Structure 1
């Protein structure tokens, strides 16, 4: 994967390509972090890189459960989704995120009509009371939006942790050659 989404051929490949790219970018923010760094909330908020990865995985799982089953249970303790618990590791939450991505693609492979309705759970207070259903297309767009929002949060948190920013991290992950204007990130000595 690169800094840009590959060319798309149709709506489905565009939606899945942009979702995969945003997943990749949030994973890039975790590159080279220790579990302690991934767990640390370095700003006044409770956000950490590891917690943000955990949250986007949980959020995507919840939405795909809704697409697949039409009704789902509560997402559980909302605040705990943003924190790595003492026994959790960055590698573990990244692996879990990979599983969520594979399941999302498997579920979507079985859906031919992106216009298929997905019921709005009206017990969620911030969901609209006057809308009965979204479409699978809408859910995918929302997943892209939500993942991109949290990838941006992770960029900021990561920069506070050790000064690393998105493009040098991406260059390190993808092993781009060094140039006069972009040096791949390297861990501090």
Structure 2
């Protein structure tokens, strides 16, 4: 996949392609990282690349569940589980998290494939960050929100990645997609100390 989605056939195709593109650029921030680097938290925030990918996968799963009518479990331990999704633990691998995220993406695509984009998605009640005066969102709104959420965290991942090894988005994209080196763009390469 290139840095820009291709032309789209219709609204659903556009929403899914732009969501897919944001997933791709988030995954791109992990290109060439070791598990240790993916666990690292090199800035003042508590964010690492592996944890960001885990978090976005968990959030997308929750929204896909809402589309299916499955309400989130907000009982004891929910806050701890939410915060835990921001960490790649020692018993987890970056490859495993990336595979899990790919499975989440496939599931979301299957769920919304045949639904009317206006299909109502009930707003969970009693959740402080959801509006009390709204009964439902649409599948269209959910997909737009997932694009927003994924893009927000892809930006976080870009900053974290640059702190890990200086890599930025376009050299990573060039490396991941095998672009030739030019006078104005050199594909990222792992430093000799990491190779």
Structures share fold, TM-score greater than 0.5:
yes
Aligned residue number for residue 103 of structure 2: 99
Q: Secondary structure at the match of 1:134?
A: strand
Aligned residue number for residue 72 of structure 1: 72
In structure 2, C-alpha distance between the alignment counterparts of 1:93 and 1:20, rounded to whole Å: 17
In structure 2, C-alpha distance between the alignment counterparts of 1:42 and 1:158, rounded to whole Å: 9
In structure 1, C-alpha distance between the alignment counterparts of 2:69 and 2:145, rounded to whole Å: 18
In structure 1, C-alpha distance between the alignment counterparts of 2:126 and 2:36, rounded to whole Å: 36
Number of positions where the alignment pairs a residue of Structure 1 with one of Structure 2: 188
User: Contact (CA 8 Å) 2:51, 2:87: kept in 1 or not?
Assistant: yes
Report whether the alignment pairs 1:32 with 2:32: yes
Aligned residue number for residue 126 of structure 1: 129
Aligned residue number for residue 84 of structure 1: 88
Structure 1 residues not aligned, in runs of 5+ = none
* Deviation of 1:71 (Å): 2.3
In structure 1, C-alpha distance between the alignment counterparts of 2:34 and 2:90, rounded to whole Å: 14
Q: Secondary structure at the match of 2:68?
A: helix
In structure 2, C-alpha distance between the alignment counterparts of 1:179 and 1:124, rounded to whole Å: 51
TM-score (norm 1): 0.97
In structure 2, C-alpha distance between the alignment counterparts of 1:169 and 1:185, rounded to whole Å: 5
In structure 1, C-alpha distance between the alignment counterparts of 2:126 and 2:155, rounded to whole Å: 29
TM-score (norm 2): 0.94
* Deviation of 1:47 (Å): 0.0
In structure 1, C-alpha distance between the alignment counterparts of 2:104 and 2:132, rounded to whole Å: 28
* Deviation of 1:70 (Å): 4.6
Superposed counterparts of 1:1-189, under 5 Å: 1-74=1-74, 76=78, 77-111=81-115, 113-189=116-192
User: Contact (CA 8 Å) 2:120, 2:138: kept in 1 or not?
Assistant: yes
Moved over 3 A (4+): none
In structure 1, C-alpha distance between the alignment counterparts of 2:177 and 2:127, rounded to whole Å: 40
